[in-house]
Amino acid sequence: MGAMQDSAEIGMAAAVGPCASIPADHMAFIRQVLDSVGDKWSMLIIAVLEVGPMRYTDLQRQIPGISQRMLTHTLRQLTEDGLISRTAYAEVPPRVEYALTPLGGGLNEIVKQLIGWAADHHDEIRASRSRPGAAASPSRS
């Protein structure tokens, strides 16, 4: 068990650092939120929706590599967390649009900065990963 988990289990907050101001009984939930919004597909969906509401197929086109299953799962999670809205229109054929909520819009700025940082440092990170002794992982290729 890590020190953070030990602290949370006995009801104490971290003594120093960014977690010190977070009540121990909130930490498990905070970790869940960070897991949800911090995954690559969530961040890309939030960034893509910056331009405005989009249909499912448009999102799929804008996010290369995302599977239908993962897009559906991630949209459901982001909707459940209140970061995006899902609006179904009673038309034939049915139309559904996804859009950022005000809460998701606030996260969008942070997401854009993180994506920009990753793009700006692409070459450095790739070079570091290709050095002898760097841990090779198929998912990082």
Give pTM, 2 decimals.
Answer: 0.73
Q: Which domains does the chain have, with CATH numbers?
A: 1-37 (no CATH), 40-121 (1.10.10.10)
pLDDT tens sequence across 97-121: 999 999 999 999 898 898 889 899 9
pLDDT tens sequence across 13-33: 566 777 878 888 888 888 888
For residue 40, count CB atoms less than 10 angstroms from its CB and return exposed for 0-12, middle for 13-18, buried for 19 or more: middle
Position 11 scores a pLDDT of: 53
Q: Are 49 and 105 in contact (CB under 8 A)?
A: no
Position 74 scores a pLDDT of: 96
User: Which tokens sit at 71?
Assistant: 């897009």
How big is the CA angle at 68 (ends 64 and 70), to the nearest 5 degrees?
Answer: 85
